[in-house]
Structure 1
Amino acid sequence: MPFIINKSHFNFENDLLIINGKKVDCAHKIIRAMKLMLQSENKIVSKEQLMRELWGDLIVTDDSLFKVIQEIRKIFKANDIHDNILINVYGKGYRIVPTITPTDKTQINYTQAQPDLNTKTVRFNPIIKKFAILILLLASTTIISYELLNNNKKVLINARTYQQLSDMAEIDSPQLLSLLSKKYLNKQLSVEDEIKIDYLQALAYYKAGNYQSSLAKIDEVMASSSQISPIKATADAYLLCANIHTYTDKNALMLDSINTAEQIYQQLSDSLGLAWSLLFRGRYYSKIKQLDKSISLFEKLV
Structure 2
Amino acid sequence: MMDINRETTTVLVIDDAPESLSLINDTLEKAGINTLVALDGKQGLAIANRLKPDLILLDAIMPNMDGFETCKILKASPGLATIPVIFMTGLVDTESVVKGLGIGGVDYLTKPVRPAELLARIAVHLKIAQVTSDAHQFLDSVGQHVATVDNEGNFLWATPETHALLASALGINEGAKQLLTAHLKSWLALNPKVDNTTQLAGDELPLNVTVVEARGHGEWLLKFSDATVIPGELLLQRTLNLTQRESEVLYWLACGKANKEISEILTISVRTVNKHLEQIFPKLGVENRTAAAGIAIRILS
Length-normalised TM-score, structure 1:
0.27
Length-normalised TM-score, structure 2:
0.27
Which structure carries more helix by proportion? Answer: 1
Which structure carries more strand by proportion? Answer: 2
